[in-house]
Amino acid sequence: MPGSWLKETFEKGVEEIQKLAKTGSIKIDITNLKKKRDERVKVIGNKVLQMIQNGELKAETFEPDYSYILEMDKKIAIKECELSETVYEDKKTEPTTSAQPAQAAPEEPALPSAAASKPADDDDDRDPHEDYINRPG
CA atoms within 13 A on the CB side of 73: 8
Which stretches of the chain drop beneath a pLDDT of 70?
1-2, 90, 92-137
Residues 74 and 42 in one domain: no
Q: What is the pLDDT at residue 119? A: 42
What domain count does the chain have?
2
Residue 64 lies in a domain: yes
Residues 71 and 33 in one domain: no
Residues 33 and 44 in one domain: yes
Q: What is the mean pLDDT of the chain?
A: 77
Q: What is the pLDDT at residue 86? A: 80
Q: What is the pLDDT at residue 39? A: 95
Distance CA 35, CA 33 (A): 5
Rounded to two decimals, the pTM is 0.49
Q: What is the pLDDT at residue 79? A: 94
Short-list 63, 82, 50, 49, CA closest to 128 = 63
